[in-house]
Amino acid sequence: MNTILVGAQWGDEGKGKIIDVLTEQADYVVRTQGGNNAGHTVYVGPKKYVLHLIPSGILRKKKICVIGNGVVVDPIGLVKEIDTLEKLGTKCDGRLFISETAHLVLPYHREIDAQRETVKGKNKIGTTKRGIGPAYGDKVARVGLRLIDLVNPEVFAEKLKVRIKENNAILKVFGAKPLSYKKVHDEYRAAGDRLKPFVTNTLILLHKAMAKNASILFEGAQGTFLDIDHGTYPYVTSSNTTSGGACTGSGIAPNRMDRVVGVMKAYTTRVGEGPLPTENAEIADMLHGMGREFGATTGRARRCGWFDSVATRHATMVNGIDELAITNLDGLDTLDTVKVCIAYRIGKQKIDYIPNDVAILSKCEPVYVEFPGWKTPTDKVKNWKDLPAKARTYLKAISELTGAKLAIASVGPAREQTMFL
């Protein structure tokens, strides 16, 4: 069974936890896009892990983890992640494999990311400043450096010299300080030596595993509406966060995939700029007051709103979602009334899809239906039938409106706070 897991909203849907739970049934866990802009939080007993590049499958012994060709890898960040895991008692040797064709994030990518945001001023994207956009830009422009280059000292030195020269000229235009070739070279080469044992041809590795009937879980990062093609462009990330990205980012064909699981919160959140039709200050205040909805990577307070079924229906269409995992239900436990957006109104017109023009989407007024709140804590509930009836009604309604089968409901960050339907 090969499963693709995607975020059905704007990222931060609680994918890390669901991936961790689904990993139990998988032999391999594969990241296929994004970089260390992602932050997947997993709790194992009292220990909290935030993983940015390494699949959270690493926390379960015997699982093999792969960073696929579609990921952009910050080698320094990755070495830190490996070291932190090892300090916490999780060994990566023999269980982590990194594609030799995955592209590198280098210091000039981060610097240019930050400079571009500053220049954009009020029109900024609100990126994580991890250099993701410029790294993918270099990949598409065919001037990127890859892991295969990093682990080859001569090739790396030669290619880096040219890239530093060009990027220093760009940084000069921004009025930013130039980078020292030697400093970057030495730091990255040291990381290259450390990563070398993990770098391999992951395409062959995965196909060999499939030939032996291994189960693979493809873990998506970010969410559907941050997709470079299908998201709220330009307020998006620079990769395909939708299910197709799992195929191109790993080299596994679409007809080898068996199911797509979409993860969504019982409400909506977004970090960074761009339209969020159901945004609501009261819900944001309530959730932040509960200490919830602060970013795992940047610590930024997330924007919050009511559940938007126009968006999640769209996500079902784009990703081919078969099953839904709905998370953070417990975040709504205290409300008298819970609202769900079922359509948008623009002037006199009512629409039930996401318009492509962000200027139009920004003007969309949500049309809501209301559900009575259950006003009971759900965080200790372990079985579907023990959930308050009103909470079950709400979950069934958002699953029907989204157009996919409800398979998992989650009421807290721990593995035990998960119900299978």
Residues in contact with ligand IMP by CB under 6 A are 11-12, 37-39, 125-128, 130, 132-133, 221-222, 226, 235, 237-238, 271-272
Nearest to ligand IMP of 114, 367 (CB atom): 114
Helix (H) or strand (E) holding 166: helix 153-173
Minimum separation from the CB atom of position 192 to ligand IMP (A): 24
Taking Cα atoms as reference points, which of 71, 51, 70, 67 lies closest to residue 59?
51
The CA distance from 30 to 45, in Å, is: 24
Nearest to ligand IMP of 31, 163 (CB atom): 31
Q: What is the DSSP letter of 307?
A: E
Residues labelled catalytic: 12, 40
Minimum separation from the CB atom of position 333 to ligand IMP (A): 24
Q: Which residues of 155-189 are buried (b: 16+ CB within 10 A; e: fewer)?
A: ebeebbeebbeebbeebeeeebeebeeeebbeebb
Nearest to ligand IMP of 133, 251 (CB atom): 133
The CA distance from 125 to 271, in Å, is: 10
Q: How many helices (H) and strands (E) does the chain have?
A: 13, 20
Token readout for 299 is: 């610590």
Token readout for 179 is: 């980078």
Minimum separation from the CB atom of position 127 to ligand IMP (A): 4
Minimum separation from the CB atom of position 208 to ligand IMP (A): 30
The CA distance from 399 to 406, in Å, is: 6
Maximum pairwise Cα distance, the chain:
66
Minimum separation from the CB atom of position 136 to ligand IMP (A): 9
C-beta of residue 37 within 8 angstroms of C-beta of residue 31: no
Q: What is the DSSP letter of 241?
A: -
Token readout for 338 is: 């819970």
Token readout for 379 is: 């965080």
Minimum separation from the CB atom of position 420 to ligand IMP (A): 25
Q: What is the DSSP letter of 178?
A: P
Q: Give the CB-nearest residue to ligand IMP.
A: 272
* Residue at 308: amino acid letter: D
Nearest to ligand IMP of 216, 221 (CB atom): 221
Nearest to ligand IMP of 198, 235 (CB atom): 235
Minimum separation from the CB atom of position 13 to ligand IMP (A): 9
Token readout for 159 is: 């290619």
The CA distance from 242 to 256, in Å, is: 16
Taking Cα atoms as reference points, which of 397, 220, 389 lies closest to residue 326?
397
How much helix, strand and coil, in percent to the nearest 5, is found in the chain?
Answer: 40, 20, 40
Cα 384 versus chain centre, distance: 27
Nearest to ligand IMP of 102, 271 (CB atom): 271
The values of phi and psi at residue 132, to 5°, are -65, -50
Nearest to ligand IMP of 25, 123 (CB atom): 123
